[in-house]
Amino acid sequence: MTVLAVFRSRAQTLDFVSLLRSYGIVAAAVNTPKEAGVGCGISAKFDERFFQRVKLALTKKSYSAFAGFMRQVGGTFVYIR
């Protein structure tokens, strides 16, 4: 299943994708869905099986623009609470 790490900053999104790749996690920058309600336009996409490793990677740097994680449910995305 697809999960997105949503950021309010394009630069931080791209930095995070690079960080994930350096940890061997397959990740890509993708368009942020409108359901996210943020304006930057891109998010980090990864497979849910990497979720715990991605959360750990998120703690390695100070990402002030991180808005949360979204999971794909059917044809839409919802925030993971």
CB atoms within 10 A of CB 62: 7
| Domains of the chain and any CATH numbers | 2-79 (3.30.70.1530)
| pLDDT tens-digit map of 35-59 | 888 876 899 999 999 999 999 999 9
φ, ψ at 41 (rounded to 5°)? 100, -15
The model's pTM is 0.92
- How far is it, in rounded angstroms, from Cα 37 to Cα 23? 29
Query: Within 13 Å, how many C-alpha atoms sit on residue 39's CB side?
Result: 0
Tell me the residue length of the chain. Answer: 81
Please report the pLDDT score of residue 38 as a whole number: 83
pLDDT at 32 over 80: yes
- 56's CB contacts (< 8 A; 6+ apart) are none
